[in-house]
Amino acid sequence: MVSVALVGLGDIGRGAHLPALLRSPGVRLVAVADPVAAHRSAAASLVSDKVAVGSSLDDALAAGPDGVVLATPPWATPELAIAALRAGRFVLAEKPVATSVAAASVYLGLTDDERARLQIGLTYRHDPAIARLKSWIDDGVLGGQLLVRAHVYDEARMAGDAEHLERMRRTLAHGTPVVHEGAHVFDWLAHLLGPGLAVDDAWALRTDDDLPAPNLTGARLSHPGGHQVLVEFGWLTDALPRCELTFLGPRGLATLDGATFALRLSTAAGSENVEFPGDRSTRDFDLQVDRFTALIRGDTDRPDPDLAAGLAALALAEQVAEQGVTA
């Protein structure tokens, strides 16, 4: 058993990290912390009374955890991650690793030992659908050069949910949807195609004047392997297009449902659907905890995904954001 503290008890902290930590047979949850009293009490009602409930990272560290999960906003995460690493703990830090490449420069001061204890919460990289897709691409099932289209539409505007609207507006003020969602998508693309994606051009659109930043954005990117990639990200319209990624090559088309990760492969030989058990979020948060506990136990000395993956995805997302706004 490894002991773990969860810091950040908002939407994803309470909704996904906490249940995954409680489900894991290899984890003893020792502390939860958040500065917001309502978030603390909501989490406290879900855990045993042996779990310390505090308001800060320092409170969580006082419980002596081996590892700390940071489900905090990207403008708070870098400072917390560095403090927990310097306190000798293992850290699983939510993506994006920061709100900008400049803000992420604080990570450059980490020692090799500290970096080796930092796993990034690029959760869906762990999904077996990504591994299956990678095997189709690597084995040439789709053919050589690919046209990849990633349409990532999430977080519709729910006019009746003031808390959600406020949280999304606050997040948008710290970067267009590509900074937040692109962290995942550019990580999948680097994992599936290999590194080297470069932004050709980008666009951005603010659909309501009172939004703090453009809420729809996209780009065209090229890959040194000859692949073309078209990405779109969108939030905060009353209705949203389908969330889907397609990989089209001369010999086949692979379609990944962006919400469920159900896969479909169509080739001249016919079509097949591939679905993995359980829902995507439960599956991937459990796999993520397994990898984090393996890192803490010393079963592996390589965090997966590591800081370099988080920084690479952030750098690409920032280029799209900047080129989109100036286009």
Ligand X SMILES: NC(=O)c1ccc[n+]([C@@H]2O[C@H](COP(=O)([O-])OP(=O)(O)OC[C@H]3O[C@@H](n4cnc5c(N)ncnc54)[C@H](O)[C@@H]3O)[C@@H](O)[C@H]2O)c1
Single out the residue of 3, 12, 115, 322 in contact with ligand X (rule: CB under 6 A): 12
Residues in the chain: 327
What's the chain's Rg over C-alpha atoms?
Answer: 20
DSSP assignment string, 195-214: S--EEEEEEEE-SSTTSSS-
Residue 7, interface with ligand X (CB under 6 A)?
yes
Separation in Å, CA 17 to CA 8, 70, 253: 10, 9, 34
Residue 176, interface with ligand X (CB under 6 A)?
no
Residue 34, interface with ligand X (CB under 6 A)?
yes
Residue 232, interface with ligand X (CB under 6 A)?
no
What is the nearest approach in angstroms of ligand X to the Cβ of residue 240?
Answer: 16
Beta strand extents in the chain (DSSP E only) = 2-7, 27-33, 52-54, 67-70, 90-94, 118-121, 147-153, 198-205, 216-222, 228-234, 244-249, 252-257, 263-267, 270-274
Q: Which is nearer to ligand X, 56 or 145 (CB)?
A: 56
Nearest to 142 by CA among 266, 231, 256: 266
Token pair 């990200």 is found at 233
Residue 100, interface with ligand X (CB under 6 A)?
no
Token duo for residue 19: 């249940």
Separation in Å, CA 224 to CA 151, 183, 194, 232: 22, 20, 9, 21
What is the nearest approach in angstroms of ligand X to the Cβ of residue 79?
Answer: 8
Residues whose CB falls within 8 Å of the CB of residue 218, separated by 6 or more in sequence, listed in order: 178, 202, 203, 204, 230, 231, 232, 233, 320, 324
Q: Name the one range near ligand X by CB under 6 A: 35-43, 81-89, 147-155, 271-279.
A: 35-43
Q: Name the one range near ligand X by CB under 6 A: 2-10, 132-140, 232-240, 317-325.
A: 2-10
Residue 116, interface with ligand X (CB under 6 A)?
no
What is the nearest approach in angstroms of ligand X to the Cβ of residue 10?
Answer: 2
Sign, Cα dihedral of 90, 94, 98, 101: positive
What is the nearest approach in angstroms of ligand X to the Cβ of residue 90?
Answer: 17
Residue 259, interface with ligand X (CB under 6 A)?
no
Single out the residue of 24, 72, 99, 215 in contact with ligand X (rule: CB under 6 A): 72
Q: Name the one range near ligand X by CB under 6 A: 11-19, 147-155, 194-202, 232-240.
A: 11-19
Q: Which is nearer to ligand X, 167 or 220 (CB)?
A: 167
How many residues sit close enough to ligand X to count as binding (CB under 6 A)? 26
Single out the residue of 76, 83, 141, 294 in contact with ligand X (rule: CB under 6 A): 76
Q: How many CB atoms lie within 10 A of CB 300?
A: 12
Under DSSP, the state recorded for 161 is -
What is the nearest approach in angstroms of ligand X to the Cβ of residue 34?
Answer: 5
Q: Name the one range near ligand X by CB under 6 A: 27-35, 129-137, 209-217, 318-326.
A: 27-35
Q: 3-class SS at 189?
A: helix
What is the nearest approach in angstroms of ligand X to the Cβ of residue 126?
Answer: 10
Contact 296, 116 (CB under 8 A): no
Residue 280, interface with ligand X (CB under 6 A)?
no
Residues lying near ligand X in the complex (CB under 6 A) are found at 7-13, 33-36, 39, 56-57, 71-74, 76, 80, 94-95, 121, 123, 167, 180
